[in-house]
Amino acid sequence: MGICPFFFRETKMLNRGLDKSELLRIVDAVANEKSIDKELVISSMESAIQKAALTKFGNDNNIEVSIDRESGEITINKVLEIVDKVEDPGKEISLDDAKNNKKKGDGFKIGDKIFEELPQVDFGRIAAQSAKQVISFKVKEAEKNRQFEEFKDKQSQILSGIIKRMEYGNVIVDLGRAEGVIKKDELIPREILKTGDRVKAYCYEVKQELKGHQIFLSRAHPQFLARLFFQEVPEIYEGIIEIKSVARDPGSRAKICVNSKDNSIDPVGACVGMRGSRVQTIVNELQGEKIDIIKWTEDLPTLISESLSPAEIQKVLIDQENKRIDVILSEENLSKAIGRRGQNVRLASKLTDFEIDILTDKEDSERRQAEFKERTENLVKNLEVDETLGQLLVSEGFQGIEEISNAKPEDIAKIEAIDEETAKELISRSKENLIREKEEVGRKLKELGVDDELINLKGMTQGMLVILGQKNIKKLSDFAELSSDELIGGFDEIKGKKIRIQGYLEEFSLSRQEADQLIMAARDIVFK
């Protein structure tokens, strides 16, 4: 935004003397050109004239300038406060002097202010330039604030503009009264955009900074797809159909989950439109991006199955606590479920907000057999029973010695071939084993030098403590400085590549929420 040409006329006007009619014309012109409040322009001119007057009459004076909003009449006053003892002659006056200088001096008292009108004078070139700078700065600030207020309300909407220029891979878009930027990583891959093209983009953030506001746009954001459906599908605009979730691989494929509040309206059909007209318009805007429209349902297994279409799912195993899902299917459906470079399962995972593992029926069988064998061996070893009895206990749902120790004799005795005496013996052995394990772990923790504060942290198990001690995390303060990714694992970007980082406590299958709770509990104690 350049400086209004009227500012230069303002400089000339101040140079030759203040003309009230011309002043009001300048005010109107600046206010209209910059789309800002007329009052703000006048107040900025008052500040400018005040600065110029101080330069002329002396900076040690207290000078006030007022411009009549109707006539344009300019009044320049020197303001003096009535005081008992004058210390600053430029800003203060004694009560006696005030009475002598004014006709109605009898009404004055200490603390009152008197105004001495100053003459309208030629401000000179330097003073006029200074005034121009003040006006220019204040109007620019007002313009920035106006633009910010205007565009902050447009956040989360689609904006349209003309591509003005390219800068280091970023696209600068002329939005009319402001400029927006589409960063390189917010563009659709392989999309060709040229200067002068009209482009649509999703406004995901409006920032106000010292140098001005910044409007950030995106064509790769999932909500860009959602807002396009909002524009193209009247039922979504009217609130009859709602978009539950969106997942995108920009420029390649997307999935959108929709639900109808009216049972008589098919949400998928409404989004597709007559002969695919509605969805095709969106596909064209997204440079041919394929869109899967999925009907939302509260039945999670069904939703997962629909999300992984065209693969046919045999079984869905859900772990709500850890937000994980195991999907079991046949070998011939494996590639369909995973998709090209894992695209289909990745998008389905984003859409449902669950981590999805794809297993063939053969892999699932092998995994269950391995788990059964491992649990059986654990019971055989710790309870000193034969393999047949161990298998029998596992098959009845007893997965470890802790579950057996907490069971009642009559519950175990319900199992065929196990009497009540045997059940009591199994429970006794399991409790003894747990005590031995606890004592052994206690000795190990002592050898490792793990502090009692960390040992006593609520939610921490002995197995976790041993692992942490082996990783040299022995104090509560050491644990408090960790992140959840360091506990449960995560991803880090090294030299542009996404690398999987193993977590210290990954084997314990902690959820991110549980990891965060442990860390925050430690921080509450350490940093209290």
Q: Which of residues 172 and 118 earns the better pLDDT score?
A: 172
- Burial (CB count within 10 angstroms: exposed 0-12, middle 13-18, buried 19+), residue 473: buried
Q: Specify whether the CB–CB gap between 25 and 167 falls below 8 A.
A: no
For residues 219 and 165, what is the distance between their CA atoms, to the nearest angstrom?
A: 17
Question: What pLDDT, on the 0 to 100 scale, is given for residue 252?
Answer: 93
Question: What pLDDT, on the 0 to 100 scale, is given for residue 401?
Answer: 85
pLDDT greater than 60 at residue 419 = yes
For residues 18 and 69, what is the distance between their CA atoms, to the nearest angstrom?
A: 15
Q: Specify whether the CB–CB gap between 378 and 400 falls below 8 A.
A: yes
Give CATH for domain 449-528. Answer: 1.10.150.20
pLDDT greater than 80 at residue 135 = no
Tokens at residue 28, please?
Answer: 């109107």
CATH architecture of 6-142: 2-Layer Sandwich (3.30)
pLDDT greater than 80 at residue 340 = yes
Average pLDDT over every residue of 451-477: 88
**Three-state secondary-structure class, residue 366:** helix
State the pLDDT confidence band at 6, using cuts at 50, 70 and 90.
very low
pLDDT, tens digit, for every residue of 428-440?
988 988 888 888 8
For residues 92 and 62, what is the distance between their CA atoms, to the nearest angstrom?
A: 9
Please tell me whether the peptide bond between 310 and the residue prior to it is cis, using omega within 30 degrees of 0: yes
Residue 445: name the closest of 426, 459, 461 by CA. 461
Q: From edge to edge, which strands make up the β-sheet containing 290-295?
A: 241-249, 253-260, 290-295
Question: What pLDDT, on the 0 to 100 scale, is given for residue 211?
Answer: 61
State the pLDDT confidence band at 67, using cuts at 50, 70 and 90.
confident
Averaged confidence pLDDT in the chain: 82
pLDDT greater than 50 at residue 7 = no
Residue 289: name the closest of 347, 230, 236 by CA. 347
State the pLDDT confidence band at 35, using cuts at 50, 70 and 90.
low
Question: What pLDDT, on the 0 to 100 scale, is given for residue 1?
Answer: 42
State the pLDDT confidence band at 486, using cuts at 50, 70 and 90.
confident
pLDDT greater than 60 at residue 10 = no
Sketch the domain layout of the chain as residue ranges: 6-142, 154-218, 449-528
CB atoms within 10 A of CB 481: 13
Question: What pLDDT, on the 0 to 100 scale, is given for residue 219?
Answer: 94
Percent of the chain with pLDDT over 70: 82
Q: Which of residues 464 and 94 earns the better pLDDT score?
A: 464
Percent of the chain with pLDDT over 90: 25
Residue 459: name the closest of 448, 446, 470, 468 by CA. 468
Question: What pLDDT, on the 0 to 100 scale, is given for residue 282?
Answer: 94
For residues 462 and 119, what is the distance between their CA atoms, to the nearest angstrom?
A: 88
Question: What pLDDT, on the 0 to 100 scale, is given for residue 351?
Answer: 92
Q: Which fold has domain 154-218?
A: OB fold (Dihydrolipoamide Acetyltransferase, E2P) (2.40.50)
How far, CA to CA in Å, does 141 sit from each of 41, 51, 210, 211? 11, 18, 10, 10
Question: What pLDDT, on the 0 to 100 scale, is given for residue 50?
Answer: 78
Tokens at residue 457, please?
Answer: 């942290």
pTM across the whole model: 0.60
Q: Which of residues 207 and 125 earns the better pLDDT score?
A: 207
pLDDT greater than 70 at residue 325 = yes
Lowest mean pLDDT among 20-29, 45-54, 474-483: 20-29
Residue 285: name the closest of 244, 238, 226 by CA. 226
CB atoms within 10 A of CB 81: 16
Backbone angles phi, psi at 158, to 5 degrees: -90, 130
Question: What pLDDT, on the 0 to 100 scale, is given for residue 258?
Answer: 95
Average pLDDT over every residue of 465-492: 87
For residues 460 and 448, what is the distance between their CA atoms, to the nearest angstrom?
A: 16
State the pLDDT confidence band at 5, using cuts at 50, 70 and 90.
very low
pLDDT, tens digit, for every residue of 351-383?
998 889 898 988 888 888 988 898 888 888 888
Residue 40: name the closest of 148, 137, 133, 120 by CA. 137
pLDDT greater than 90 at residue 322 = no
pLDDT, tens digit, for every residue of 275-306?
899 999 999 999 899 999 999 999 999 999 99
